[in-house]
Amino acid sequence: MKNLQVTKKYEGKKLSKFLIENIPNLTENLFYKTLRKKDIKVNEKRVNKNIEVYEKDEIEIYIKDELLIPEINKIYEDDNIIIINKQAGIEITGENSLTKYLQEIYKDKQCTPKPCHRLDRNTCGIIIFAKNNQALEILLDKFKKKQIDKEYIALVYGLPSEDKKLLKSYIFKDKKKSISYISDVPKKGYKEIITEYRVIEKRDNNTSLLKVKIETGRTHQIRAHLAYIGYPIIGDNKYGNNEINKKFKKKFQMLYSAKIGFNFKGDNGILEYLKGKSFSIDQNLLNKYFKLS
């Protein structure tokens, strides 16, 4: 059961709008199914109609947590790891996160999947989970030693004059504002970043599709670095241009973690079999994702 209180923002709005916008992964179909079963109470009274709600109304909805688990798109799985194609709009860790959903799915399999790296909430793509502590320790060490390569696809506004470029700058993360700043010269608190891009396609609508690799994995590195050189990622509401985002009707940054490769060296323990392997997002899926109307 979930308990919620209606805020002023939803004064006079439909019950469906309030619940769908305040319960992660509650779909319209699931809402109406729950409503028909009279599993929703408004101010302690069961309702079966999509009524209007008002500020300070108390809502109770009886729904199983597993019904709120979003679709999990697995790319690969074995006894040690799971590779997921994460959708935009979901955190890696936290209360309503991919980690929590995966652990709910695997709770009866004596397995507690844990993430080995991070992706921004609104970035799609490949994320690796370890199914045991031994695999987790190995992968964390491999990421630290830069023996796991990641490749991204980004749709940016503008047409780069150079089709390929290695960018070297410095980044500072303002934790209070949750934003990162770029500098061309070293400064106190700034850390070096190296970002490489290659143009895949230049389009008539003044957008470009880029393949991006990073040698350093700092918070918001790709988003901040590309915006800094004048090519903001379309849909990025933090480092991008709001007018451009509205023009293309994109709410999430058009950034996709598209490929991951295991460039292992030395002792690889139980994950030796991954050495030299790579996993990619299906090209047809990428083409569909980056198509702009």
> Would strands 81-86 and 124-130 be described as parallel, antiparallel, or unpaired?
antiparallel
The answer to whether residues 100 and 65 touch, using CB atoms and an 8 Å cutoff, is: no
Q: Give Cα separations from 210 to 5, 227, 279 (angstroms).
A: 44, 13, 19
User: Within 13 A of 190's CA, how many CA atoms are on the CB side?
Assistant: 15
The answer to whether residues 115 and 127 touch, using CB atoms and an 8 Å cutoff, is: yes
Active site residue 120: yes
Q: Report the C-alpha gap between 145 and 265 in whole angstroms.
A: 9
Q: Report the C-alpha gap between 36 and 176 in whole angstroms.
A: 44
The answer to whether residues 230 and 156 touch, using CB atoms and an 8 Å cutoff, is: no
Q: Give the active site residue among 65, 108, 120, 163.
A: 120
User: CB neighbours of 257 closer than 8 A, spacing ≥ 6?
Assistant: 86, 119, 123, 124, 125, 126, 127, 150, 151, 152
Q: Report the C-alpha gap between 36 and 149 in whole angstroms.
A: 49
User: CB neighbours of 277 closer than 8 A, spacing ≥ 6?
Assistant: 261, 262
Residues identified as active-site: 120
